[in-house]
Amino acid sequence: MSVTSLTIVVDNQAQPGCLAEHGLALWVNVGKEHILLDTGQGPALAPNMNTLNLNPNELHHLVLSHGHYDHTGGLPWVLSAAHDIQVWSHPAVVEPRYSITNEEVRPIDMPQASKRALHALPGSRVHWSSQPKWITAKIGLTGTIPRQTDFEDPGGPFFLDPQGHRPDPIEDDQALWIMTDKGLVICVGCCHAGLINTLTYIQKLTGEKRIRAIIGGLHLGAATAWRMEQTIITLNELQPELLIPCHCTGTLAVEELQNRLNFAVRPGYAGLRLELK
Ligand SMILES: [Fe+2]
Ligand SMILES: [Fe+2]
């Protein structure tokens, strides 16, 4: 039986000694496989790995959950520090994308340096796919997640053009799953596809219904009361063992999840380690 361990390396919150930033990076060990999901914005990644005694050169895989800057900014450093790392990404991660609020247009796409570093990698080290992929028999990626629920949306004013004509469905949003003896461990970046869409798709892909743990950003800060209600009802039906909301979940949303879910909810922060035997 291989042990799965999770360490939050970059998050909006941090334990003393770690840096906090708006972003996410999650180190996952599954037996001998070492995987990094996302890289944060960049500045917190190397110092936090150092503080947490994580050696980037031991990484085998870098998975990108989607192309936002707060998940991809540390990519050049990871590629320079992890010499044989394989990168797994949806092809749409490099799309230009914007957040538009009250006519204020903010580019939120992958930084140019990250795009250049990604494109400079030899083709043999980058796995581009919009389809589900298996890294090993027990570890997989969703690729584009079908949007099935009528209560979930990408979670913000996201557009593919600075004029705001083309809404961004963030089709590159994907999740990482690990099959353990006691059910699925599901790691999400920002969950722009919606948490329930993500969980039910992974159950369908793997044929495994039991969810052991969910970790990552859930992007529920702008969720309607209806979305929160439906999300909570469905989560209580799905009965995971543990939820670790972090990054972009939203403070009030985390409180509501803690108050109303009938299973364990432990808010995440940089430095949190979890071992699942
Ligand atoms: Fe994010
Ligand atoms: Fe995002």
| Helices 225-238, 251-260: inter-axial angle, 10-degree rounding | 40
Hey, is 61 helix, strand or coil? Answer: strand
Q: CB-based contacts of 134: which residues, under 8 Å, 6+ apart? A: 140, 141
| Cβ–Cβ under 8 Å, residues 181 and 1 | yes
Q: What is the rounded CA–CA span in Å between residue 233 and residue 227?
A: 10
Distance 72 CA to ligand 1 centre (A): 10
Q: What is the pLDDT of residue 3?
A: 79
pLDDT, residue 1, reads 59
- H runs (alpha helix) in 110-171: 112-120
Q: How far is the CA of 247 from the centre of ligand 1 (A)?
A: 7
Helices 225-238 and 195-206: crossing angle in degrees, nearest 10, is: 30
Ligand nearest the Cα of residue 21 is 1
* Residue 134 and residue 61 in contact, taking contact as beta carbons nearer than 8 Å: no
For the residues of 214-274, what is the DSSP string, one character each? EEEE---TT--HHHHHHHHHHHHHH--SEEEEETTS-HHHHHHHHHH-SSEE----BT-EE
| Nearest listed ligand to the Cα of residue 108 | 2
Residues with Cβ within 5 Å of ion ligand 2? Answer: 68, 190
Task: Point out the ligand nearest to the CA of residue 41.
Answer: 1
The answer to whether 183 and 211 have CB atoms below 8 angstroms apart is: yes
Domain range spanning residue 218?
4-276
> Could you say which ligand is closest to the alpha carbon of residue 158?
2
- How many domains are contained in the chain? 1
Structure tokens at 153: 């949306």
Task: Identify the H or E element spanning 48.
Answer: helix 45-51
Distance CA 45, CA 41 (A): 8
d(CA 77, ligand 1 centre) in Å: 19
Place of tokens 């900014």: 73
User: What pLDDT does residue 277 have?
Assistant: 81
Could you say which ligand is closest to the alpha carbon of residue 168?
Answer: 2
Amino acid at 132: P
pLDDT score at 236: 98
Give the pair of three-digit tokens for residue 238: 């799905």
Spatial distance between the Cα atoms of 87 and 125, rounded to a whole number of angstroms = 6
Q: What is the block-wise mean pLDDT of the chain (277 residues), using blocks of 10 residues? A: 90 98 98 97 98 98 98 98 96 97 96 97 96 97 98 97 97 98 97 98 98 98 97 98 98 98 98 94
CATH classification at residue 51:
3.60.15.10
89 CA from centroid of ligand 2 (Å) = 14
